[in-house]
Structures are given as structure tokens and as C-alpha cells.
């Protein structure tokens, strides 16, 4: 597969390594700031972005940029009708808009809060634990995450996705709170807290707590490699499933669509 990488920071470089390791070619690396990107474009120049991808001859796109630019990048690239994987987080509130755009223009996009296979296994473990803890009224629940100090959004998209999986089975809670409390939390509030420090790739913990004990479920990323490998595999699956007719173009897909064996 010929892949265009939109965003060539630390994650983009890791994506290139993964793509090459899996036998693909990286035909373009596009960025606004990074000096060693093959193509430098001005911030917000949607036409230059689309032209760069088209001229590269790419048959797949992976986008890892910044929450402030991801939506405009999606709007520029979806009409190209080239299968696209988006790893940038921080745009959950725009997913309906993106799905509508995909349906209108016939472009196909896949996204996930986290492409790590381990994290997606974590989602299932959290659901099972929440289902069990839900049966015992004494248990409370909370989520905490920690990432490197260059991460632009807080809490992480992964933490919010974990929260959604927890809430699907832990019926006593139905509201996510991500800011600090000025007073004691209400019983229905799930606190999702964040820390930013150093170069931590990502740690997520889920707590079920009562007077008698505490249960902790944790996932710690050792490097960005797991995210990069997962994103490349996601693009591989998205492309092949479109060709085989297992998925239809003009839609927004998630991990459960691309990796049904995990769900």
C-alpha cells in the first residue's frame, strides 16, 4: 500500500517505521512545522493538503496531527475518497458531522481513541469488571490517566472511551466529570482525572473502590509503537474490507468495525 502521512511529528515518524516494517511505502509525509517532512504546507491550507496527497499517488492516508486542525484536515481529505485512518483525538463532539460529510461525499474514514490492541482488550476487561461491580452497591468507580507534557488534549480520548465502556455496564453512574471538584461528587458522577508530565507515552487506570478493598485495572504503554502498529493494521483492514465489500464507502468506522475479532 502507498501511504500518505498527514502529521510528521514523533507519532508520524513512528508510523513511517511501522508502515515500512509491514511492507508498505510511505509516498508522502506532510506537516506544517516539522523540518524533515517531504511536504511543508501552511496551517489551514486545505487545498495544499489535498493536492499533496493526490500528487503523491497514495491509496491510503493516516492522519495524526492536532485537535485544532484535525477537523479541517478531515474535510479536505474525505472528498478524495481515499481510505483514511485518523488517530488525532479531541473531536468526539464532531463525529456526527464527520459521518454526515462522509455519507455526502462518499469518502471513508476510520478513527479510534487508541489504536493499541492492548488498550482495546482493556476496554473489554473494564466492561466485564463494571458489570460485576455494578451488582454490589458499595463499589464506587473512577478513572485516571497520565501522558507526556506535549499532549494537547486532556483528558485523553482513550480515558473518555474507557469511561463510556464503564458507564455502559456500571448503571449507578451516568455523568462524566473531567474538571476538578469544588464540592463532593454526586453518586452518579464518574470522575476522569488527568496528569501531564515528562515523556510518559500513556498510562490509564480504572478504580473500583469500597470500604473493604480497591480493585485497580491498568494499562501502561511502553512506547508509541503499539499505537503506530495498530493504526497501520487498521488502514490495511479498512482498505481490504472496502475492496472485499465487507464495508461500504461513505461512512465513519471504529475499531469494532475494523477488528471484529476483538469485539
Enumerate the active-site residues.
147, 151
Q: Is 254 helix (H, G, I), strand (E, B) or coil?
A: coil
Determine whether the annotation assigns residue 245 to a binding site. Answer: no
Nearest to 156 by CA among 199, 113, 200, 189: 113
Determine whether the annotation assigns residue 88 to a binding site. Answer: yes
Determine whether the annotation assigns residue 203 to a binding site. Answer: no
Q: Which three cell numbers stand for residue 128?
A: 466485564
Determine whether the annotation assigns residue 112 to a binding site. Answer: yes
Determine whether the annotation assigns residue 148 to a binding site. Answer: yes
Contacts of 68 (CB under 8 A, 6+ apart): 152
Beta bridge partners of 195: 146
Q: What is the bridge-based pairing of β-strands 84-86 and 60-63?
A: parallel
Determine whether the annotation assigns residue 163 to a binding site. Answer: no
The cell 463525529 sits on which residue? 95
Exposed/middle/buried for 189, CB within 10 Å: 0-12, 13-18, 19+?
A: middle
Looking at residue 246, what DSSP letter applies? S
Contacts of 22 (CB under 8 A, 6+ apart): 229, 232, 233, 236
Determine whether the annotation assigns residue 199 to a binding site. Answer: no
Determine whether the annotation assigns residue 178 to a binding site. Answer: no
Is there a contact between 97 and 79 (Cβ–Cβ < 8 Å)?
no
Sign of CA dihedral 47, 53, 59, 60: negative
Distance of alpha carbon 187 from alpha carbon 136, whole angstroms: 14
Binding annotation for NAD(+): 87-89, 112-115
Binding annotation: 87-89, 112-115, 148, 157-158
Amino acid at each position: 500500500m502507498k501511504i500518505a502521512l498527514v502529521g510528521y511529528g514523533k507519532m508520524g515518524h513512528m508510523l513511517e517505521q511501522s508502515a515500512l516494517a509491514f511492507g508498505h511505502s510511505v509516498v508522502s509525509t506532510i506537516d506544517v512545522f516539522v523540518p524533515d517532512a517531504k511536504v511543508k504546507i501552511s496551517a489551514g491550507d486545505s487545498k495544499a493538503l489535498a493536492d499533496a496527497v493526490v500528487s503523491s499517488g497514495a491509496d491510503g492516508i493516516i492522519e495524526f496531527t492536532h485537535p485544532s486542525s484535525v477537523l479541517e484536515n478531515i474535510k479536505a481529505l474525505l472528498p478524495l475518497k481515499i481510505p483514511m485512518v485518523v488517530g488525532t483525538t479531541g473531536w468526539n463532539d464532531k463525529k456526527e458531522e464527520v459521518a454526515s460529510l462522509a455519507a455526502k461525499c462518499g469518502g471513508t474514514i476510520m478513527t479510534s481513541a487508541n489504536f493499541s490492541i492492548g488498550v482495546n482488550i482493556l476496554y473489554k476487561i473494564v466492561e466485564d469488571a463494571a458489570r460485576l461491580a455494578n451488582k454490589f452497591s458499595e463499589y464506587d468507580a473512577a478513572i485516571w490517566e497520565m501522558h507526556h507534557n506535549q499532549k494537547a488534549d486532556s483528558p485523553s480520548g482513550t480515558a473518555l472511551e474507557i469511561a463510556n465502556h464503564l458507564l455502559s455496564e456500571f448503571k449507578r453512574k451516568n455523568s462524566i466529570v473531567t474538571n476538578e471538584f469544588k464540592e463532593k461528587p454526586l453518586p452518579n458522577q464518574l470522575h476522569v482525572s488527568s496528569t501531564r508530565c515528562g515523556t510518559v507515552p500513556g498510562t490509564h487506570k480504572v478504580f473500583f473502590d469500597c470500604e473493604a478493598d480497591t480493585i485497580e485495572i491498568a494499562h501502561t504503554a511502553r512506547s508509541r509503537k503499539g499505537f503506530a502498529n495498530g493504526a497501520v493494521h487498521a488502514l490495511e483492514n479498512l482498505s481490504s474490507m472496502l475492496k472485499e465489500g465487507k464495508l461500504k464507502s461513505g461512512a465513519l468506522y471504529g475499531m469494532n468495525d475494523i477488528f471484529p475479532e476483538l469485539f
